[in-house]
Amino acid sequence: MYSKNMGNTYVFVNQKGGVGKTTSAINIGAFLAEADKKTLLIDFDSQANLSSGVGLSGVKPGVYELISGVADINEVIKETSVPGLFAIPASIDLSGAAVELIEQQERDFFLAKAIEPVKSVYDFILIDCPPSLGVLTINGLVAADKVLIPMQCEYFAMEGLSLLLQTIKRIQKLNPRLDIGGIFFTMYDARTRLTQQVVRQVSSHFKKQVFNAIIPRNIRLSEAPSHGLPISQYDPQCIGAKAYKMLSEELIRRG
């Protein structure tokens, strides 16, 4: 069988809430699909924001049924409004899974095992994680090849980043493939001096890892999910769409 690149699984992680993990997963995924890259989004957060953002709110079976062994991977992969973009939805049930997993020996490997059969089918697999470094995020990191770190340009961003980098080092013992795929800035507001300082500081520390594309604060990006559409379909000409398109092109180039 024709086999896709095996280093294709990316996980969006930042233990801080509301930094743009889900928005980025949806919109980067959509632009990858539009560039003819067959892409699978995995909602691994019981808030299920990614699922509603791609019009799959309340759809089951989903990722909980997958990792608990009740559903087969092919039953949980759903089509979205974007050709070539697929998604595994989540539901509030996933919060129970976090507790169930803690008690099991193989608890860190459930997601990795569950997606193994489809890794060769997609050009990109993007996993959206909750805002914590708990068992779900650990599963995401163990299942991934690369971590993508969205950062909001604010004062405590650097502190949060060093904790996250320590966690990634720890996970590399469980998953030696794991590498940093990149850091990118979200909700950028050029009018505030602090924003510019944070970008400069992080960029000078992590030269190679920082993406050139910066995601601006853009109201259209926050409106799109309530229509169940990625920005590429909701408003492809807005500045937020252009920034996510650039970011996805950079991701393709970096491989």
CB 250 within 8 A of CB 212: yes
What number of other Cβ atoms are within 10 A of residue 137's Cβ?
25
C-alpha closest to that of 161 among 203, 98, 196: 203
Quote the tokens at residue 205.
């520390």
Of residues 220-249, which lie at the interface with ligand ATP (CB under 6 A)? 221-222, 225, 240
Question: E strands along 124-169, which residues?
Answer: 124-128, 146-152
Of residues 154-183, which lie at the interface with ligand ATP (CB under 6 A)? none
Q: How many whole angstroms separate alpha carbon 133 and alpha carbon 136?
A: 8
CB 35 within 8 A of CB 80: no
Using CB under 5 A, which of the segments 19-27, 93-101, 200-208, 230-238 binds Mg ion?
Answer: 19-27
In the complex, minimum distance from the CB of residue 129 to Mg ion, in angstroms, rounded to a whole number: 8
C-alpha closest to that of 192 among 152, 241, 223: 152
Specify the residue, 19 or 112, whose C-beta has the smaller distance to Mg ion: 19
C-alpha closest to that of 137 among 116, 115, 160, 110: 110
In the complex, minimum distance from the CB of residue 188 to Mg ion, in angstroms, rounded to a whole number: 18
Given 8, 13, 21, 146, the residue binding Mg ion (CB under 5 A)? 21
Given 63, 101, 148, 215, the residue binding ligand ATP (CB under 6 A)? 215
Quote the tokens at residue 44.
């691994």
Given 186, 195, 232, 248, the residue binding ligand ATP (CB under 6 A)? 186
Helix (H), strand (E) at residue 174: none
Given 8, 22, 24, 51, the residue binding Mg ion (CB under 5 A)? 22
User: Is residue 217 a contact residue for ligand ATP (CB under 6 A)?
Assistant: yes
User: Is residue 16 a contact residue for Mg ion (CB under 5 A)?
Assistant: no
Given 11, 19, 148, 153, the residue binding ligand ATP (CB under 6 A)? 19
CA angle 114, 118, 124 (to 5 degrees): 110
Of residues 34-73, which lie at the interface with ligand ATP (CB under 6 A)? 45, 47, 49
In the complex, minimum distance from the CB of residue 164 to ligand ATP, in angstroms, rounded to a whole number: 13
CB 148 within 8 A of CB 182: yes
Residues interacting with ligand ATP, by CB under 6 A? 17-23, 45, 47, 49, 130-131, 186-187, 215, 217-218, 221-222, 225, 240
Chain contacts with Mg ion (rule: CB under 5 A): 21-22, 49
